[in-house]
Each structure stands twice: as structure tokens, then as C-alpha cells.
Amino acid sequence: MFELIDANIAKHITLSPQELDHFHSFLHVKKYKKKQFILQAGETSHFQGFITKGCIKNYILDEKGHEFIMYFALEDWWVGDIMSFYERKPGNLFIETIEDTELLTIDHQSNEQLLHDIPQFERFFRILIQRSAYTLQQRFFNTLSKPAEARYLEFVKKYPQVVQRVPQQLIASYIGVTPEFLSKVRAKLAKKSSKTEAGS
Amino acid sequence: MFELIDANIAKHITLSPQELDHFHSFLHVKKYKKKQFILQAGETSHFQGFITKGCIKNYILDEKGHEFIMYFALEDWWVGDIMSFYERKPGNLFIETIEDTELLTIDHQSNEQLLHDIPQFERFFRILIQRSAYTLQQRFFNTLSKPAEARYLEFVKKYPQVVQRVPQQLIASYIGVTPEFLSKVRAKLAKKSSKTEAGS
DNA sequence: CACATTTCTTAATCTAGTTCAATTTTTTGG
DNA sequence: CCAAAAAATTGAACTAGATTAAGAAATGTG
């Protein structure tokens, strides 16, 4: 039940068995079917979640209705609209399942209690956010400074599991191009590699 | 001396006078002339800084040597390469002064001590990073979904002091266009507004 | 297993922003 | 206050990627 989340936390902080039990007492299981919303823009996020099974997309919708994917998350990832959750006001993020998904969740009040009772969690979440901010910074830089082909290749290399599990149009959104253009990029790459493979 | 930084911290956490004194004991003043590096890519960041006077740019250099501005910072802002500072390894950020600048700095060891002695700082820095991550997310979304003109107008509205103090080519970099194109955007805006002003 | 829906591909046309190069304007430090 | 550097402008030619539209392939579901 808690193996995955305990291991996730142990990457950054060390807790006593009692502290772990206390932490577990705050958690709830939530289950979602494929293509369900975990959160919609305009809502206030009442919990943070940790994925024990499944796959989600976290995105913003622009005025034309285009999805702009902030991130995908699979097993062993934390998900949520952090600003909405901590500031207790409506956010602009959608979180939607791509597969049937199971979360361990912690609600706002429990989270405050947890941070109070075990201040190490303050550090834990700081580290998580720090890393996600760094990743976002690098992605932003790459998106503005490298062509779509390079971004696609980096994505495939960095998130091979995601490539297996989410439709290509969503990967296009993540790397910041239209599905049509990603399709062309892939066609060009396929031609290149077939040449390399000496016409087999 | 510490008025500005104390007020900055008081926005998110409440400290006793003794805790504040303890905090102050970790700080050092550092002064830089205009166009000096506070940090260069490839170096490990040994401190975080709080600007008491001046203005800096925080940027990444791409392989062609183009600056990609992550953010500007004026008085009352924290600056640093957070990943490099916390993970104690070389980063890819440049931090360079745009004006003569004075910082209050805290080095790595003092920071660890501070987080240990006053765990509220763990919360304080979590909140700072959370907000900067949110800002970055919104900026990334805007950059991919809105035209340069809208981004420029939003920048001017959000950071009027920065517009006064940094060269326009750096603002171009921030909003993600070439200096030439920003110049054209501004020319178009000037024409528009002169029309509106009924030819005065 | 078939039909409806979703996803992917292909191609033609279009555009926001880039690049390069030359010129003008502004800022600065001696 | 002036020379030199830095910053901003302008214009012409170009391109990465968007848009639109239609068809092909894959996938899910009664």
C-alpha cells in the first residue's frame, strides 16, 4: 500500500517508523477511470496526490481551447495545482487521467497538520518544487532555443515510458508544436534512420 | 541595514526578535559594480543573495551565444542559482549586474544551519520557490500561446520599474523575441497609439 | 467483428518571427 | 563636452512552424 510513497519520500528525508505511521494516517485513496478530471480550471484544489497506478496530464487551456501540457505524471509522481492548493483559491490548471488511475491524497488541513507535526515535510516539498521549477526552466529554455526535432528526441529519451502510454498529439503539445508538425518531424526522422539502416 | 530583508521575510513567516538576530548573524554584505558577474555557468553557487540595491539579470547562454533571460531582479528580490546552491554542483546560469548592486548573502553552510535552527525558513524558501515556479509556468504558457505584442504589453504593465532600468534588447530576450522584432512591435504600437491620440 | 470514434498522416497555403546588414540614436566615461 | 561604444531602428529576404482540410490507420466498444 505505502511502499511506493515511502520510498519516494525516503529519497529526500529520513523519518522514524512512528512518523511514517503518522504520515500514513493522513492519506486517502482516490480512484479515477480513464479520461476523468481530477481537477478543473476555476476550481480550488483541495488535495495533493501521489500516483500509485495510472497516468495523468496536467494542462492549461488557452482562449482558443488548445491544451498546453504542463506535465505528464505516472506512478511515483506527485500531482496537483500547487498554487491553488496552498493559496486556497481557484487555479487555471486541468488535471485529467489518461488511464485508470489511483492516487494517495492528502487534503489541505491534513497537509498543514503534517507540516506542523513533522517539519521535515516542509523540506521534502521544498525539494520537490525546487526540482520541478528547475525542470520547467530547462524546458522553457529548450523550447525557445532548440528546434522541434531536438525537443522531440530529448523527450523520447527522457520519458520513454510516457511515449508508450500517451497519444502523440499530447506529446506534440508538451514539446510546444501542433500534432501535424510533430507528425512531419517524425516522418523526416524515419526517413533519415531508414537511410542509416542501409536500406534494410 | 536589515529593514528591507526583514520586511520581505515577514510577508510569509513570523519570527521572534531573537530569531531575527540569529538570522542576521548569518548574513554578509557583498558589493558589485555594474556589469560584473555574481555567478557564471560552470561554477558552483556558494550563496543565495537578497538585493538591497541595484539590478541584475539571470540568464542562460545557448550554443550560439544568445542570452536567454530567466528573470530580472531589483531591490527586495532574492537571487541565486537554486539548483547549484542546494545540490552543490555546477550550474548553467549566469547572474550579472546591470547596475551597481549590493547584496545580503547567506552561504551554503550558514543556510543549512539556519534551516536547522529556525525550521520556519524551510517554509519561507518553499513559498518563494513555489511562487517563482508558478510565475515561470505562466510565462512559459504565455510565450507559447500569445503573440509577442501581448507579451510585451504584459511585461510593461507587470514590471514598469524594470522597463525604466534595463536596455530594451534584454526585455526582448525576456519575452522571447529578437531585439529587432521587439523594435518593430514597439513601432507598430506607437503608430496605433498616435492614431488613438487624435493626432495631437 | 463491425462500426464509430479517436488518432495520425499528408499536402498546400500562410504568417509570426528570424537573420543579416546598414543607419541612426543614445549613453557613457575620460 | 566629445569621441567611442552601446543600443535602437529599419528594411529585405527568409524559414520554422501554424492552419486548414481531407483521407488513412488504429482503437475501443456494443
Structural domain ending residue among the three candidates A129, A158, A177: A129
Q: What is the pLDDT of residues B154-186, one digit of tens each?
A: 999 999 999 999 999 999 999 999 999 999 999
Provide the residue range defining the domain that includes A84. Answer: 3-129
Considering the domain boundaries, does residue A134 fall inside one? no
Considering the domain boundaries, does residue B22 fall inside one? yes
**Domain shared by A66 and A155, yes or no:** no
**Domain shared by A112 and A159, yes or no:** no
Tell me how far the alpha carbon of residue B72 is from its chain's centroid. 4
Phi-psi map region of A176: left, alpha, beta (phi>0 left; psi -120 to 50 alpha): left
Nucleotide lying nearest to B98, CA to C1' measure: D6
Considering the domain boundaries, does residue A59 fall inside one? yes
**Domain shared by A7 and A99, yes or no:** yes
Considering the domain boundaries, does residue A135 fall inside one? no
Chain B CB within 8 Å of residue A150 CB: no
Residue A129 to residue B133, Cβ atoms within 8 A: yes
Confidence of residue A192 (pLDDT cuts 50, 70, 90): confident
Give the number of other CB atoms < 10 A from CB of residue B187: 10
Strands (E), B43-126: 47-53, 56-61, 67-73, 78-79, 94-97, 101-107
φ, ψ of residue B78 to 5 degrees: the values are: -90, 140
The alpha helices in A11-147, defined as continuous H runs, are 17-25, 82-87, 108-117, 120-145
Task: Give the integer Cα–Cα distance in Å for A116 and A130.
Answer: 20
Task: Give the integer Cα–Cα distance in Å for B158 and B152.
Answer: 10
Which percentage of chain B shows pLDDT scores above 90? 92
**Domain shared by A95 and A15, yes or no:** yes
Q: What is the pLDDT of residues A74-91, one digit of tens each?
A: 999 999 999 999 999 999
Considering the domain boundaries, does residue B157 fall inside one? no
**CA–C1' span, B186 to C14, in Å?**
24
Closest to B171 in 3D by CA, of B148, B187, B190 = B148
Residue B130 to residue A70, Cβ atoms within 8 A: no
**Domain shared by A95 and A23, yes or no:** yes
Number of structural domains in chain B:
1
Considering the domain boundaries, does residue A173 fall inside one? yes
What confidence score (pLDDT) does residue A200 get? 39
Considering the domain boundaries, does residue A137 fall inside one? no
CATH code for the domain of A44: 2.60.120.10
Cβ within 8 Å of A, B 22-61? 60
**Domain shared by A125 and A150, yes or no:** no
Considering the domain boundaries, does residue B103 fall inside one? yes
**Domain shared by A151 and A73, yes or no:** no
